[in-house]
Structure formats: structure tokens, C-alpha cells
Structure 1
Amino acid sequence: MVRLLDKGRRGLLRGIFSRMTVIALLLIVQLLILVATFDWFNQYQVHVQIIGAIIATIAVLYLVNSEMDRLSVITWMLLIIPFPIAGSLFLLYTKIDWGYNGLKIALNKSMADSQPYLVQHSQILNELKLSHSTTYNLASYLGGDGDSQYFPVYKNTKITYFPSGEAKFEALKKELRAAKRYIFMEYFIIDEGMMWGEILAILEEKVAEGVEVRVMYDGMIEFSTLSFDYTKRLEKIGIQAKSFSPISPFLSTYYNYRDHRKIVVIDGEVAFTGGVNLADEYINKIERFGHWKDTAIMLKGEAVDTFTILFMQMWSITESKEAIDYGSYLGNHQKASSSDGFVIPYGDSPLDEDKVGENVYIDILNHARDYVHIMTPYLILDSEMEHALKFAAQRGVDVKLIMPGIPDKAIPYALAKTYFKTLIKSGVKIYTYTPGFVHAKVFVADGHKAVVGTINLDYRSLYHHFECATYLYQNSEIPKIEADFQQTLLDCEEVTLEVVKNESPYVKLLGYSAKLIAPLL
């Protein structure tokens, strides 16, 4: 009994004096200082009202003339009109983006340093132009027609599609065991359990063989799945490790930008991406929100170069003083198989003005003739994406969306349902996966276009996260992606207007209330 009490006291003390507690307390102190500042202003109400009216007018003029989407403008106005000074200062704070300028400078330098290694072969681009003009135009947007491109079009790349996390897991272990030079892993979530345990054991073996291993994960998971010292724990066994944007005791918009990518690169010859993180629910070893439906793809050949560069770019901007020789990590691809289609791996960054992930999705919708079939866990749309979905359906395109039947988050799911009525009226067909949760991020269209990656149909993925995906055109795996969609559809129920009408008043109220702050979710 005494031992249990002592153990409990030690646990309590560790909790009180933990890094998480200290960070939380310091953040609370900063929030209290801000509140006290606003309260001090309120002591001079007459002057504050005049100043507030002037500031609010300037802020509203800025919003009306900005390039923000309509819903974001409305959200900010709902904050600024009742709280002119506080709301306007908050808007100014987010636009100045203190704390992220250094990150942006580092990323721009990394992109400039690595750009010469992403070279577009003009022969492939010309072949694509002769094959399909709209896909050629998309390729031109992703990389441009110059000698060097950020996201080139490749051939000579073998693609393997995985319709589940379990299938990806088995293939990943096989490829990791075959590594000779290096292993790079970048994930949004890593959680200790069977999946990560088996992978970590392989990584330890590879380190002992002299293989260079680097692991990077998003710093937010230090509050949920991994300890704050986990990078040091990995380093002790010979793995180079970093967490992206770890939480520190300083208020900053920097924390809004998360690394949502899932990338594995092995020897510059093999790459993986898709929705599957390194946690047991992704392979249904444990049950969270019913059966977990996810997807991934594996690339072998020339297109792996883009994922190699994407990983090294992120590695270099996370407080790294290492001078990276990008060329030394690219594969030689001498044994690359000739592919039967075109492959464009690409990334998206929240640190620029270009919404690459959303633009690729909209391009698919705008040029579809027969169908666009989509799997996504979330549906929080800006006006451009909502219009593209509706307009495609109104043109007679068969637009189908598969979403979770068992959601992981109540508020975003209620918010997603606020779009159902207008989408269905436009001809979009929406289905829910009754066995559980859909985490896949898949677009497939007309039998010859597809995207598999990490990019959800929500504000966080489209605006605030580092993301990645692979665009496929005329590739033999595309029919397999469509077949997987159709197979998944067998376990789904269609959402009809009657279903929407009979939704509970509580869910409707929650959804419409959340829509007021949708850009913040």
C-alpha cells in the first residue's frame, strides 16, 4: 500500500513539473496578459469606441478587398464587428505571422537549393502534351515549362496501390528490410504499439548494418502519443530524429502549420505516401471508430526523386545547420521499369499563396467528363471547392463522395453535414461508410486520372498543413483505385435529402454554429 502511495505521489509530481504543464502554464500567463491589456483599454470607453470604430473600418475594408474566400471573410467579420479592437488586433497578429517568418525563409532557401535536382525531361512533357492537353496544362502549373521544375512529370515509375493500411504495412516492412543506403520517414502521427514497434525493430537492425535512418514527425503528437524526449530516445539507438514545430511556451501562429505528410523514401528508389500513419488503428490492430478504411501507394523509379527532395526540404528547415547534398540522396534509376503512364508527385505548403492541393482537386472536377469518385474523412469547404463539386455534378458528371459512418470528431462531422443538402440538390451523391471511419484521401476520375495522398477536403489540409500526394494519369493502377472505391461503396449507405431533413436538431445547430468558424477548424 505504501509503495502504491509513493508511486502515486511520484506520478503526481512528474505531472505537475512536466514540460507539458510548464508550457501550458506559460501559455495561460500570456493569454491573461492579453486579456488584461484589453481590459485596460476598456477603462477609456469613449476613446476606445472611437478608436475601435476606426480600426474596425480599416479591418473590414481590408477583408472585403483581400483574396480570402467568402467564408473566411465572414468568420473574421463576425469576430471584428462585436470586438473591434481585439478582433482587429488578432487579424493583424495572424497576418504578420510572428514566429513563422524564419521558417518561410528557411523553406525558400531549401527549395532554391534543391530545385536544380528536380529536372523536367522535355520529351516526357511533350509526350504528355500530345496525349492530353488538360493534363499537360496541369503539369505546366505544377512545374512550369522551364528547364527545372519543382514537381516534374515522370514516367519509368512503377505504382502499387494499397486499399488498406494492412496491405501497406506488409509492403513497407518488406522494403525497409531491403534498404542498403538510407531510410527516410516523415509522418504526422507515430504511436507506440505493434505497428511502430515492428518498424522500429527493423530500423534498429538497419542502423546496425550501417544504413542511415532519419525519422521526422509532427511536434503536436508530443502532447498525445510520444514523449517530449522521444527524438533523444531514437538518437540513442542511432536514428537521426526530429519533431516538426514542437510546442513551446510562446504564443505564435507558427503552431497552426502542421506537418501532415506521410512519406517514406528508401535508397532513393522506393517511396510510400497516402493516408496511413504509424499507429495501430491504421492497420485495425486496435479498434477506433469501427473499421478503419485507408489507402496508400508505393512508387519505384524516377518519380521517387520528388519525395526524396520533399523530405530533405522539411528536414533542412527544422533548425538544421546541416549542409545537405541533395544529389547524393537521389536514386540512379538504372533499373527503373518502363511505366505505362505519367506520374506527378507534389507537395503543398501553407507558407505560400498557392493552394496546390486544392487546385489539383478542382482541376480534376472541372475537366471530368464521366465521373469523379472521392474518399475523404472531412468536408469543410471553401466557396471555390464547393462550387467545383456542384458544377461538376450539374454538368452531368457522376460525382460521388464516401465519408465516415463513424466519425472521429463530432464538431467537424456536424459541420460536414451542413454541406450535404446543397451538394445533393446539385446532383452530388454522398455515402457514409457504415463499418467505421474512412481516412483515405482519394480522387479518381474517368478511368485515367487519380490522386492518392494526404490531402483532406478541409481548411486545415488545404490551407494550414504541409501536405503531399501523387497524381496519376493513364496508369494501370487507376482501375484498381476505382475498383476499390466501388468495393467500399458496397459497405456504404447513401445520404438522401430525407436523411438530411431528419437529422437531429442538436447536430444541425452544432454544424451551423461551427460553420461560423469553419476556417479555424
Structure 2
Amino acid sequence: MDIKKENTLRLIYGRTIIVVSLILIQLGVLLFTFKWLSKYQIYVYGGFTVISAILVLVIINGKSNPAYKLAWVIPVLLIPVFGGLFYLFVHIQSTARRLNNRHQSILKETAVYLKQDAEIINEIRNISVQNANLCNYISNIAGYPTYRSEDITYFPLGEDKFKELLFQLEKAEKFIFLEYFIIEESYMWDTILEILKRKVKEGVEVRVMYDGMCCLLLLPYSYPKELESFGIKAKMFSPIMPVLSTYQNNRDHRKILVIDGKVAFTGGINLGDEYINRIERFGHWKDTAIMVKGEAVRGFTMMFLQMWNITEKTPENYDKYLNESSNKSEEHNGGFITPYGDSPFDDDNVGKDVYMDIVNTAKEYVHIMTPYLILDNEMITTLIYAVKRGIDVKIILPHIPDKPMAFALAHNHYPQLLASGVKIYEYIPGFIHAKVFTSDNEKAVVGTINLDYRSLYLHFECAAYMFKCPVIKDIEEDFQSTLAKCKEMTLEDYKKFSLFHRVEGHVLKLFAPLM
């Protein structure tokens, strides 16, 4: 049997088709139920009209984002039976609440390991009260402290990170933690896996966690067992199940690699060949990452262990993995770094708040690289207000999209932003996957957080906020270098998009918070 035929049969009879089929069957049952209820239209419609009115009051008085509220109010009012039942279905599920309770319990359990050094905050306050307040916010709300920066390296491309990652893995002596949104069977992952298998034989503890979306197309559902056969501890976060559940909408979008508590990597780069431009998807793939050394690695170590233990019942020995990263170094390059994570299950959108703080407090410029631009009114207002204050706001986006609908939504924002003076550029060689903010030669964020609803509200994310670190110069230089490969967009360029594309953006914008 040839390989093409074998792959086709595997797709047809594989778990992905089964899962999708079962979900579609459940959806069909729901639609049939709605149709059956329509036979009793007078009673059902009357009852749900009352229920819809109550739901609208509940939605409007809730704590969620106004755009999210509007996205729910419209279907609840226009289609009372379907809209009302679907809203109840989404919000009465207990899985998300249980996960949040477990996550909050772990955050309290690990808080003792993540206490903020008051002396560091005082040092920052002597330089900038505003930045000290931001660091206090991240510590108090998200639970992640600020550290003195010792050594941070910026990688402007995935292949640059990959080369250093392999070098650092070879030096591992005690443990290796990997947490990635995507792991794909590829040259990149196979090369890493060979090192991990060898390290396990040398007595190094290796843990691998990846998001359960991978089990649909990229990896076999039983792949954790295969890794365990090599001595690697492995798990999927929230594997996709053949059950209609909004819990499956909250993914682990983080990218974290920790080695011996001494070195940590984060950024936008997943473990697949397109991220290192070994294969071409959507043109040249522009992505970024940082490598952190020193005491700040402690923050990434704890982020990994917190996520790992959400589904664990055996108590974790945190001290075992923190001894190395807790040793303070005399080396200090003058800057400060705050590794932080964000959860979709609390009332605080830390990733968004950090971005908005940078824009609101900028004195000269804010430069942004993001693959997606799906903004709520707050972020749009913040960007426009910055321009009105005289701030140079530049955003680099892909020219070749990976998701057509996301592309249409991004373009939908062009007229308003461009008319206000926000400068938008598209990366002509291909796709931008970097998630980078720089401002005033003194602030930067590199991490996993896109400028879209999924990253800002629905996913588990991570990033590093840097203040006064020498590496910020490298990040800004890369922005300028990337800018030279971009085309500046204008209102005339927007008008050249097809009518269908523009209408698509208008329609999708209404439901963007639910996508």
C-alpha cells in the first residue's frame, strides 16, 4: 500500500474523524431538539422570551468585556430558543469551574515560592513609579514576581532559537521541562526527542506537556504513552474529546522550556518545521523567542509546574526544582524581568492589561509585531489615544495569512486605525507569528500572547515583561529590520480588498469574541 493511500485511510478511520463525527451527531441532536420544540412554538417561544429577557439582564450586568456581551445578546434576542439554550449550555458547565478551582488552589499552594522581593520593587520605583506599579500589579494579581535581569538573549528567528535550544539541552544534568502549544512529528521535534531520550538514560528527569489540539491532526492520541516508553513523563493538556464542551475552547497556548532551573525559553515558536523555515507554509515564517538565565528562570519553572499539576493528584516536591534557580547571582545587567502567566478562568486579563499599560504610558513609541489583530473597543481606543498624544504606534502583521477569517477580521480594523494615525505594515515575505511589544527603548514584552480574543481572554498564555534590560535594544533593532521588509498599508490598500473580503470582516467582527 502506498504512503498516500495509507495516510488517507488513517485519516478516514482515525480518531480525528471519530471525534468530529460524534460532535456533529451531538450537534445534530441539539438541532433536532430545537426543531421538535418549534412544534410547540406558542408555549416554547413565550417561555423563552421571558428567559431571554432574564438572560439579557444577566449578560449586561456581568463582568465580561462589552464586545463579548454584545456577541451573546444578539443571538439570545434574535433566536430566543436556540440562543438562550446555547448560552445556558455554555455557562452551566462545571468542568471549567473545577479546572479554575484546581488552578487557583495550586496558585495559593505555590505562592510561597513566588514572593516579591520588596527591595527590587524599591529599585524600580527609584527609576520609574509607573513601572514599579505595573510590576506590583503582576505580582499581586497574577502571582509572578519581578527579578533582577542577569542574562537575556533575543532570537529574531525560530532557527536561531532552535540552534541554541539544542546546545542548552545537551548541557542538561537534572531536569528538562517542555510545555508547548504544538508539537509536530518533524525534523525539529525528532532532533529534540533524540536528545531527550539520551538525557533520560543519563538520569535527567524529562517532562513533556503539549496542548490536546495536537491529537486531532499532528500526533497520535496515544503519543504520551510512546514518550513514556522512552522514560519521558508526558501528558496532553485538555485532550480533544468527542463531547460538546466549551471547556475545550480554553487551550494551553504557552511555549516554555526550562533546563535545570538555570535556563528558560519562551516566545512564539512551537516545535514544528515551519517555525524554523525548514518547510514553507505561508511564505517565510517570522517568529521570535528569548532565552533567560538566572533567578528569573524560577518564574518559568513554577509556571510549568503549576500547569502540570492541574491534573495531578500526587503532591509535587517544588523545592526539588527550585533550588538551582533560587540561588541569587551577583551578576546584574541593570534591568528587570517579570515572567508571567495568564489564565482564562479568572476575572483578570493580565496579558491584555500589560499591553495596555505599555501603550498608555508610552512617551515616544510603541512598536508591535502580532500575527492577528482582532481587537475589542478598549484596545482600539487605547491605540488611538496614544497616537493622539503624539506617540508613534506601528504594528507589523502578516502579508500571507494562515487563517483567512482572522485575516478578514484584522483588515476590518484598518480603516479606523489608519484614519487615526496608527501605522500598519504587512510583512511581504510571508507570515508573522511573533508576539512582541517594544516601547521607548526601555520596555518590551516577548511571549505567546497575540492581539486577539483567544489569547487575551480564552487561552493559558505566558510572556516576559522587561524593563531597562540591554536586550530591549536587540528587540527594537529586529523590529526595524523587519519593518524594512514590510509594506506600509493605506486606506487605498484597504479599498482594494474584494467586497466579499470586507463584508466578511464586518460580519465576523460581530461574533469575534465567541470565535
Report the TM-score, using the length of structure 1 for normalisation.
0.95
The alpha carbon displacement at 1:26 in A equals 2.5
Equivalent residue, structure 2, for 1:392: 386
Provide closer, same or farther for how the CA distance between residues 284 and 14 of structure 1 changes in structure 2, counting only shifts above 3 A. closer
Provide closer, same or farther for how the CA distance between residues 14 and 429 of structure 1 changes in structure 2, counting only shifts above 3 A. closer
State how far apart, in whole Å, the 1-side matches of 2:205 and 2:123 are. 37
Equivalent residue, structure 1, for 2:492: 498
SS in 1 for 2:46: helix
SS in 1 for 2:135: helix
Query: What amino acid sits opposite 1:315 in the alignment?
Result: W
Alignment of 1:162-241 (within 5 A): 162-241=155-234
State how far apart, in whole Å, the 2-side matches of 1:260 and 1:11 are. 28
Question: Which of 54-63 and 188-197 deviates more?
Answer: 54-63
- Residues 118-139 of structure 1 show CA distances to partners (whole Å, capped at 9, x for unaligned) of 1211111111111101101111
- Residues 6-35 of structure 1 show CA distances to partners (whole Å, capped at 9, x for unaligned) of x96x87775555333332333233222222
Question: Which of 41-50 and 445-454 deviates more?
Answer: 41-50
Native 8 Å contact 2:149 2:469 kept in 1:
no
Equivalent residue, structure 1, for 2:368: 374
Native 8 Å contact 2:295 2:328 kept in 1:
no
The alpha carbon displacement at 1:496 in A equals 0.7
- Residues 225-259 of structure 1 show CA distances to partners (whole Å, capped at 9, x for unaligned) of 11111101111111110000001122211101000
Q: Structure 2 regions of 5+ residues with no counterpart?
A: none
Provide closer, same or farther for how the CA distance between residues 271 and 288 of structure 1 changes in structure 2, counting only shifts above 3 A. same
Instruction: Tell whether 2:85 aligns with 1:89.
Output: yes
The alpha carbon displacement at 1:158 in A equals 1.1
SS in 2 for 1:431: strand
SS in 2 for 1:81: helix
Instruction: Tell whether 2:122 aligns with 1:126.
Output: yes
Give the superposed CA RMSD: 1.8
Alignment of 1:60-75 (within 5 A): 60-75=56-71
Native 8 Å contact 2:374 2:409 kept in 1:
yes
SS in 1 for 2:503: helix
- Residues 295-353 of structure 1 show CA distances to partners (whole Å, capped at 9, x for unaligned) of 00010001111110100011001x32221011210124355632320110000000111
The alpha carbon displacement at 1:188 in A equals 0.3
Query: What amino acid sits opposite 2:74 in the alignment?
Result: L
Query: What amino acid sits opposite 2:227 in the alignment?
Result: L
SS in 2 for 1:401: strand
Identity fraction in percent: 50
- 2:453 corresponds, among 453, 459, 466, to 459
Native 8 Å contact 2:368 2:438 kept in 1:
yes
State how far apart, in whole Å, the 2-side matches of 1:228 and 1:393 are. 48
State how far apart, in whole Å, the 1-side matches of 2:506 and 2:93 are. 29
- Residues 75-127 of structure 1 show CA distances to partners (whole Å, capped at 9, x for unaligned) of 21221122112211211222223322221122112111111001211111111
The alpha carbon displacement at 1:369 in A equals 0.8
Alignment of 1:354-365 (within 5 A): 354-365=348-359
The alpha carbon displacement at 1:483 in A equals 0.4
Q: Which runs of at least 4 in structure 1 moved beyond 6 Å after TM superposition?
A: 10-13
Native 8 Å contact 2:295 2:329 kept in 1:
no
Query: What amino acid sits opposite 1:299 in the alignment?
Result: V
Alignment of 1:388-467 (within 5 A): 388-467=382-461
Query: What amino acid sits opposite 1:65 in the alignment?
Result: N
Equivalent residue, structure 2, for 1:326: 318
SS in 1 for 2:148: coil
SS in 1 for 2:147: coil
Native 8 Å contact 1:55 1:85 kept in 2:
no
- Residues 408-439 of structure 1 show CA distances to partners (whole Å, capped at 9, x for unaligned) of 11111011101011111111000000000000
SS in 2 for 1:190: coil
Instruction: Tell whether 2:345 aligns with 1:351.
Output: yes
State how far apart, in whole Å, the 2-side matches of 1:184 and 1:287 are. 28
State how far apart, in whole Å, the 2-side matches of 1:460 and 1:483 are. 29
Alignment of 1:98-177 (within 5 A): 98-144=94-140, 150-177=143-170
Alignment of 1:300-315 (within 5 A): 300-315=293-308
SS in 1 for 2:85: helix
Equivalent residue, structure 1, for 2:284: 291
Give the count of matched residue pairs.
513
Provide closer, same or farther for how the CA distance between residues 131 and 38 of structure 1 changes in structure 2, counting only shifts above 3 A. same
Native 8 Å contact 2:335 2:467 kept in 1:
yes
Alignment of 1:243-254 (within 5 A): 243-254=236-247
Report the TM-score, using the length of structure 2 for normalisation.
0.96
- 2:255 corresponds, among 253, 258, 262, to 262
- Residues 373-397 of structure 1 show CA distances to partners (whole Å, capped at 9, x for unaligned) of 0000000001111111111111110
Question: Which of 494-503 and 342-351 deviates more?
Answer: 494-503
